[in-house]
Amino acid sequence: MHYYLNRITMATTHNTPTPHNEAVYGQIAKTVLMAGDPLRAQFIAEHFLENPVQFNKVRGMSGFTGTYKGKPVSVMGHGMGIPSIGIYTWELFNFYGVETIIRVGSAGSYDNELQLGDLVLAEGACTDSNYGAQFELPGTFAPIADFDLLRRAANACESFGYHYKVGNVLSSDAFYNQHSKSGNWQKMGVLAVEMEASALYMNAAFAGKRALVMCTISDHILTGEAMSSEERQTSFTHMMEVALSLV
């Protein structure tokens, strides 16, 4: 364990690119929007950014830098699950000088008041993952969002008129969970389940940086409802507008 952390610390002094990102230092903006699907990152770049330039295509994980209303911003995929987002966000925070990462993703609702297309702002992130063990803390770490980003995102949702809720999410290691106990998470007030927030928040805390996860409800765990691909594209645009308002 000590070897792993020492190796990472040493790597921060080395030049980019990395094994997972072909960008060199300076090609990635201080603020990065990230989506699990690299095609969604490409969609954001092509439809929202001015003059986007691709900085990464290693492993198909597309990344682009452009401007939004004159401000530099990058967008990049992070893949599925905690191990994947753990790698990409660690490198962005520690190797590329990124200060803020905003995840724009999808989630399954545990909350009866959250309907398909609604937004969830993850104030905190529970997890069934062991990712936090690497930090060797004498207890359980509670991963949370940056409050300023969270507050501004909530204000933006109000301004745009988008229905949203703020609260806890579950970052699960398993998409196909054979022993799901969603009712227990619901009883504890957890709003939705996704697969990445806790690792992003832990990496941000360790690096002294800022992070926020916002998700669009794409399906409902309790009712079985699910959005069509067309509905996903339209509703996810709302989330992108909120995220870009924070740049």
Q: Which helix (H) or strand (E) holds 75?
A: strand 71-77
| Rg of the chain taking only CA atoms, in angstroms | 17
Q: Is 182 exposed, middle or buried (0-12, 13-18, 19+ CB in 10 A)?
A: middle
Residues 183 and 208: their CA atoms lie apart, in Å, by 34
DSSP assigned state of 2: H
Q: Enumerate the active-site residues.
A: 219
DSSP assigned state of 81: S
CA 93 to chain centre: 13
Contact 74, 93 (CB under 8 A): no
Contact 213, 197 (CB under 8 A): yes
